[in-house]
């Protein structure tokens, strides 16, 4: 569930404090034998597509607009972007050093859904709430026919260290 971001988080000093004020923690990412969660090239950090896992479990499966409603899809985007942030922190060592450059949000959706940007908004809102200006980013939200493990949402990011 997406927490109401109308909290005191915006008034705290650090990104870590803002994350904690929202009642959130960054998850542990499980290693995969076939890919890495991030790759650094020069000053750019490429974050692999992250699914809405929590505690090692994919939270939902299905297609947005058929099996998954908009609010649930937004919540799933929220969890997927927390996994992206965890990968970024692993790359740079500290949440305070993360700056989001670009985010690509894939939404497995019915052809008539058309609200992919509203799903992506949940992830964007959280990034800005936690990282402030470092969370503002270029973004693409796209509907797709299917995603790995029948996940409704997948998020990929490009970051840099500040």
Half-sphere exposure (Cβ direction) of 107: Cα atoms closer than 13 Å: 34
With a cut of 70, which residues of the chain have pLDDT below it?
1-12
* Residue 2 confidence (pLDDT): 42
* Residue 3 confidence (pLDDT): 44
* Residue 153 confidence (pLDDT): 98
Q: Cα separation of 145 and 12, whole Å?
A: 40
* Residue 10 confidence (pLDDT): 52
* Residue 9 confidence (pLDDT): 52
Which pLDDT tens digit goes with each residue over 141-153?
999 999 999 999 9
* Residue 109 confidence (pLDDT): 98
E strands, the chain, in order: 38-41, 44-50, 53-54, 57-58, 98-108, 138-144, 153-161
* Residue 95 confidence (pLDDT): 96
* Residue 12 confidence (pLDDT): 60
* Residue 13 confidence (pLDDT): 83
């Amino acid at each position: 569930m997406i927490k109401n971001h109308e909290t005191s988080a915006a008034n705290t000093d650090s990104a870590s404090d803002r994350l904690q004020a929202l009642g959130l923690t960054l998850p542990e990412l499980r290693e995969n034998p076939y890919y890495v969660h991030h790759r650094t090239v020069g000053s750019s950090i490429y974050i692999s597509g992250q699914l809405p896992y929590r505690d090692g479990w994919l939270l939902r499966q299905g297609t947005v607009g058929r099996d998954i409603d908009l609010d649930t899809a937004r919540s799933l985007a929220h969890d997927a972007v927390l996994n992206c942030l965890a990968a970024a922190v692993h790359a740079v060592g500290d949440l305070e050093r993360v700056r989001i450059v670009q985010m690509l949000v894939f939404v497995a959706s019915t052809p008539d859904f058309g609200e992919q940007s509203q799903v992506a908004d949940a992830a964007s809102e959280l990034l800005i709430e936690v990282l402030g200006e470092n969370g503002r980013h270029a973004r693409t939200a796209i509907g797709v026919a299917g995603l790995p493990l029948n996940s409704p949402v997948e998020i990929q990011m490009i970051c840099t260290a500040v």
